[in-house]
Amino acid sequence: MPRVLLTSVCRPLGEAYGDAPSVGYELLYGQVTRAQGLFSPRANHVQFGLAYVAENLEAPTTVLHYPSKKELIAELEKGYDYVGLSFVLSTFHRMKEAVTLIRQYAPDAKIVLGGYGTVLSDEELAPWSDYICREEGAVFMQRLLGERTDAPQRHPLVISRLRIFSREISRTGMVFAGLGCPNGCDFCCTSHFFKRKHIRLLDTGKQIYDVIRRYQEIEPEMSIVVLDEDFLLNRRRAMELRDCVMEGGKPLSIFCFASVKALSQYTITEIVEMGVDGVWIGYEGTRSGYAKQQGRPIEELFAELRDHGVSVLTSMIVGLPYQTPEIIEEELDGLMKLEPTLTQFLIYGPTPGTPFYEQVMSEGRLHKDLADDRETYYRNCTGFKAMVNHPSMTPAQIETAQTRCFSEDLRRLGPSIYRSVDIWLRGYEKFKDSSNPMFRLKAKRFAFEIRRAYPVFLAGKVLAKGDETRASIAALEKRVHAALGAPTLMESVASVAAVGFAAWTGLTLKLGLFQHPSITRHTFRMPDESLPAKIWRRLRGEDEAGHSVEVELRPESTVWVTVKGSLNVEGAERLAADLAEGLRRRKDRLVVDLERLAAAEKVALDDLLEQLRAYSDRVRILVPQEWALA
């Protein structure tokens, strides 16, 4: 069976290493809270698609996130038949570096390029690849490797870790619900990459809820991000999710992407009951005229979301054709009055494959230096460089306006971590005495999040810039304490410690220390590469009853047990007893993969399920599709 390596480009990344501004490992710090310095929430942004593809192959697969060149070389020397490399336009040059290493240290391996960087033409990419994936990656790789493509896709567990003041404060489960978007905004690469089609990875609200439940098995209060371009556009699927949440009787914390058009289909009650307490909304520009902006008045919508504890991340475009410096200032003023929790400001730019790109190229409006040097153009496809001749503004004016937007957002509204607490407090006060039981539970969750944030106030009062900002943080702290009580002794001690951690964070930023992640390496279907605890390893081997067992450790302390051959009652009893003993002695999560069984007695399966029922909160059993339908 062929061996597969899937990898990102190599670190180090960043402007100091020849990359364009905002290129790095983080979405928030790179593109949203970039002006907030030590107060910025931090989270590394990995190539989610690699884990999704690896989860759904049969071939032994290794996934690397941000290896150094030395680490990539060491991995290549282990021997792989296919190497998949994910990149975007702004890392085109990094892709070339990695391909050069692949060809030197794994000359027989076939190279597969994937990611949104593949919007480039075959002519441009052919010298660097054997295959190009411009579709959903799991099915593409299954087809390339000769594997079956009709099996239900498995959803991996991918967890993002959020840090404030250099300390991990929460974990978020990533739910991959769909790809592409039918809205088709003229600048949007992801919409036009999939030809304005929406590809559902999870067809129903029930499927989405089932994935969320798997994350809650790891951490009951884990927050969730649903990755889907305009998740709430499909009302039927979203409302089915809401029904599952209500039936489950436990409030969730979900962040999703949603347009004004999509949000306008729901009442605020439906949104909150669904568990949505964070949305990314494209504000773009008041005169931009995109169809997704149609619906409820944006002032009314934002106010209602804010008053019900729903945080809003908005994105505004700078450099639209109708804009002048005065209009940008006017639109910025309007956006600031909406009080978003987080804000992104990107320059209107042309990406290959989009209508705006076609228009710019046909009219010859791409700046000459970029038109003459395609690689420099790709490197600057980040949203932080003016690349197109504008009717009324120079590139310097556009870029200065963008910088001012970020600084004004911070000056007027303060650091986003305090805006978040303010939104949670509003939600708590709105729901604590509600007649809706789910809303009262939601108020308790808001209270839990607020109490966890108690230690950040002192750091804000001491280290935030500007008297007005420090005063607003102090006023928020007073409101919080009035609602939820004074800090405990431990919270007071943590507040003092937080000042030290915040100061340390500021120092590391100033000196550029510890800004690069270590490599993340995961293996799939490679038992000898990732060994679980001894009690699990002893399950390996052939059973005299006719089945065999393979065991490996997967991400998030998940032990993956694959059963092959034939399973009868006698063998199932021994297997169940060994599994139960491992679960009793260890806290690991367990996946029992029966999809590769050639045959199994129904009584044997029933006995296996029954004996593991006591551990159902930590066990997932995979069976062939035809068995599930029987």
**What would the pLDDT profile of 312-351 be if each residue is shown by its tens digit?**
999 999 999 999 999 999 999 999 999 999 999 999 999 9
Residue 446 inside a domain? The answer is yes
Residue 394 inside a domain? The answer is no
Instruction: Tell whether the model's pLDDT for residue 422 goes beyond 60.
Output: yes
Residues 55 and 103 both lie in one domain: yes
**CB–CB of 384/89 below 8 Å?**
no
pLDDT band at 208 (very low <50, low <70, confident <90, very high): very high
Residues 27 and 43 both lie in one domain: yes
| Cα dihedral across residues 364, 369, 374, 376: positive or negative | negative
Residue 120 inside a domain? The answer is yes
Share of the chain above pLDDT 70, in %: 99
Residue 104 inside a domain? The answer is yes
* Gap between the terminal Cα atoms of the chain: 30
d(CA 98, CA 110): 13
**What would the pLDDT profile of 74-100 be if each residue is shown by its tens digit?**
999 999 999 999 999 999 999 999 999
Phi/psi of residue 111, nearest 5 degrees: -100, 125
Residues 60 and 11 both lie in one domain: yes
Residue 21 inside a domain? The answer is yes
Entry pTM? 0.92
Residues 37 and 118 both lie in one domain: yes
Domain that holds residue 175: 155-309
The whole-number pLDDT of residue 7 equals 98
Mean pLDDT calculated for residue range 454-478: 98
Residues 624 and 486 both lie in one domain: no
Question: What is the number of structural domains in the chain?
Answer: 4
From residue 453, alpha-carbon distances to 5, 165, 256 in Å are 40, 12, 22
Strand (E) or helix (H) holding 189: helix 189-193
Mean pLDDT calculated for residue range 462-485: 98
Residues 282 and 173 both lie in one domain: yes
Closest by CA to 617, choosing from 250, 249, 219, 205, is 219
d(CA 158, CA 21): 27
**What would the pLDDT profile of 577-623 be if each residue is shown by its tens digit?**
999 999 999 989 999 999 889 988 889 888 898 889 989 889 999 88
Residues 181 and 227 both lie in one domain: yes
Residues 163 and 278 both lie in one domain: yes
Q: Return the structure tokens found at 92.
A: 């085109």
Q: Of the residues 480, 511, 542, which one is the last residue of a structural domain?
A: 511
pLDDT band at 629 (very low <50, low <70, confident <90, very high): very low
Residues 282 and 169 both lie in one domain: yes
From residue 205, alpha-carbon distances to 212, 239, 264, 268, 563 in Å are 11, 7, 19, 18, 30
Residue 478 inside a domain? The answer is yes
**CB–CB of 223/172 below 8 Å?**
yes
From residue 307, alpha-carbon distances to 138, 272, 300, 424, 431 in Å are 41, 11, 11, 9, 10
Q: Is 549 helix (H, G, I), strand (E, B) or coil?
A: strand
Residue 347 inside a domain? The answer is no
* Long-range contacts of 299-305, Cβ-Cβ distance < 8 Å, separation of 24 or more: 299/337, 299/338, 301/260, 301/263, 301/264, 302/338, 302/339, 302/340, 303/338, 304/268, 305/263, 305/268, 305/271, 305/279
Residue 622 inside a domain? The answer is yes
- Transcribe 597-609 into DSSP letters: EEEE-HHHHHHHH
Mean pLDDT calculated for residue range 199-225: 95
Residues 611 and 625 both lie in one domain: yes
Instruction: Tell whether the model's pLDDT for residue 557 goes beyond 70.
Output: yes
Q: What is the CATH number of the domain that holds 615?
A: 3.30.750.24
From residue 108, alpha-carbon distances to 67, 78, 81, 141, 296 in Å are 21, 12, 7, 18, 57
Q: Of the residues 249, 278, 309, which one is the last residue of a structural domain?
A: 309
Instruction: Tell whether the model's pLDDT for residue 560 goes beyond 50.
Output: yes
Residues 8 and 35 both lie in one domain: yes
d(CA 284, CA 294): 12
CB neighbours of 485 closer than 8 A, spacing ≥ 6? Answer: none
Other C-beta atoms lying within 10 Å of the C-beta of residue 427: 26
Q: What is the CATH number of the domain that holds 146?
A: 3.40.50.280
The whole-number pLDDT of residue 630 equals 39
The whole-number pLDDT of residue 627 equals 59
**CB–CB of 188/346 below 8 Å?**
no
Q: Of the residues 150, 175, 196, which one is the last residue of a structural domain?
A: 150
d(CA 455, CA 181): 40
- Transcribe 355-406 into DSSP letters: HHHHHHHHHT-B-HHHHH-HHHHHHTTTSSS--B--SS--HHHHHHHHHHHH
Q: Helix and strand tally (H, E) in the chain?
A: 26, 21
Residues 76 and 29 both lie in one domain: yes
Closest by CA to 200, choosing from 221, 225, 175, 218, is 175
d(CA 489, CA 491): 5
Angle at 266 between CA 264 and CA 271, to 5 degrees: 120
